[in-house]
Chains A and B, each alone.
Chain A
Amino acid sequence: MDFLADFFIRFLVQFQSPTLGFLIGGMLIAALGSKLKIPNPIYQFVVFMLLMKIGLNGGIEIREANLFAMALPAFFSILIGLAIVRVGIAIFGLLPGVNSADGFATAGLFGAVSASTLAVAIVMLEEEAIAFEAWAPALYPFMDIPALILAIVMANIHMKKEENGGGEVDVNVWGIVKESLRGSALSALLLGLALGLFTNSGSVLESFYEPLFRGFLSILMLIMGMEAYDRIKELRSVAHWYAIYAGFAPLLHGLIAFGLGYIAHLLVGFSPGGVIILSVIASSNSDISGPPTLRAGIPSANPSSYIGASTSVGTPVAIAVAIPLFIALAQIVFDI
């Protein structure tokens, strides 16, 4: 009961956090038909700023880190990404009225990782003064890329079987890896990591990226809120199962990651903050680089179903419910 009461209080407090406030505010003004528009180049710049800051910060701190300790969490990240897709495809296979291609794509998107959710988690951990390994955000591609590849490979095997009873499946795995690494969010994160690691970028981080981080995050949340409301309309036109899946899957995926993160904590001393980051990236669903990759890899899937499920339900649930849930859970499990 203590846990529930604690979680509930934390949950209410999160609704006063500016981050979540901007998300809800965005939904509200979109619902009211506001003419406020935030242009696309600003959105792309904001994403760049956030990921560059996370990368620089990670790169600077990785210098002193024991990279050997990263191997197990990285391996678990791959495992979680693959498991989410397998479980998602199994769930959609059981549901009536779900187009199989849409199911594969939705499972892939929920296995992939959201850069904005990761940014929110980092801010909330800093607010709670919970320490995490600087390399923890770099677990992102380890989960993201395998999930996208598995979803696209499984979808193509399935389509080939339906068409002509099997045969060779031609999926360009290297092409998917390249597309993912070149995606705007991931390339900013990786560039930041490299710059932080190899250059003396401490001053530019402190004087420019760090002070602007929260402000830019609030703009990103506003955009995500407006987009979430707009996508609900599209989600209405597809099966309701997507909305139900998008509501509970983030929590399930986060719990799987929390369990594996706890094992890594026991075996290699993975920090509680790192476990929270791992859980949050597992519960997040890709919003920037995943959709175009899936659109190219599974063309027969209807984007309204998977993007609607992710943007209008999955991401708000991951930010508003999953992050406070896993922070509260970690505080109780690790007694911090």
Chain B
Amino acid sequence: MTYHKAKKVVIIAEKMLSEKICRIIDASGARGYTVVPAGGRGAHHKHYTSERASVVDDFATVRIEVVVNNKTTAEEIGNQVVEQCFDKYSGIVYLEDVEVLRPGKFGGK
């Protein structure tokens, strides 16, 4: 089997933004994404993971990962997320090079 080069976009944001971010990803032509609960420390305050009750659950953070076949789509997702979500809320976006099997499973315009 051959591995193909692809791009992974990683977005760490407040949980309440995840719906909006997933809509951006869907619109980009990507074929799917993964959302996992995150936790740790950011510029503003400590974010807890689900191991501990937090009265305000929506301020917990999530890590959203999406793999696409080309750099342009990846960059476009990142740009859209920053423009639409991170003007008022905090969060980070970064790209990673990955190698994937079955490139047909990953979209991208």
Show the binding face of A for B, using Cβ within 8 Å: 37-44, 223-224, 226-227, 234, 287-288, 291-292, 295-296, 299-300, 303-304, 307, 311
Contact = CB atoms under 8 A, between A and B. Distances in A.
A299 B55 contact: no
B55 A287 contact: yes
Contact of A234 (B14, B45, B89): B45
Given A234-B45, A300-B88, A295 B52 contact: no
B55 to A, nearest CB: 5
Contacts of B53: 37-40, 42-43, 223, 226-227
B58 A37 contact: no
Contacts of A43: 53-55
Question: Which 5 A-B pairs have CB atoms at the shortest separation, nearest pair first?
Answer: A299-B88, A43-B53, A292-B58, A37-B52, A291-B56
A300 B57 CA distance: 19
A40 B45 contact: no
B101 interface: no
B83 interface: no
A300 B87 CA distance: 10
B59 interface: yes
Given A299-B88, A300-B88, A304-B45, A292 B52 contact: no
B50 interface: yes
A303 B16 CA distance: 13
B81 to A, nearest CB: 15
Q: How large is the interface on B (under 10, 10 to 19, 20 to 34, 35 or more residues)?
A: 10 to 19
A38 B16 contact: no
Contact of A223 (B51, B55, B59, B88): B55
> Which of B14, B54, B56, B89 counts the most A-chain CB atoms under 10 A from its CB?
B56
Given A234-B45, A292-B16, A295-B16, A303 B59 contact: yes
Given A37-B53, A39-B50, 9 more contacts: A40-B52, A40-B54, A40-B57, A287-B55, A287-B56, A291-B56, A291-B59, A295-B59, A300-B88
A287 B16 CA distance: 16
A40 B50 contact: yes
Contacts of A223: 53, 55
B89 A299 contact: yes
Given A234-B45, A300-B88, A304-B45, A295 B58 contact: yes
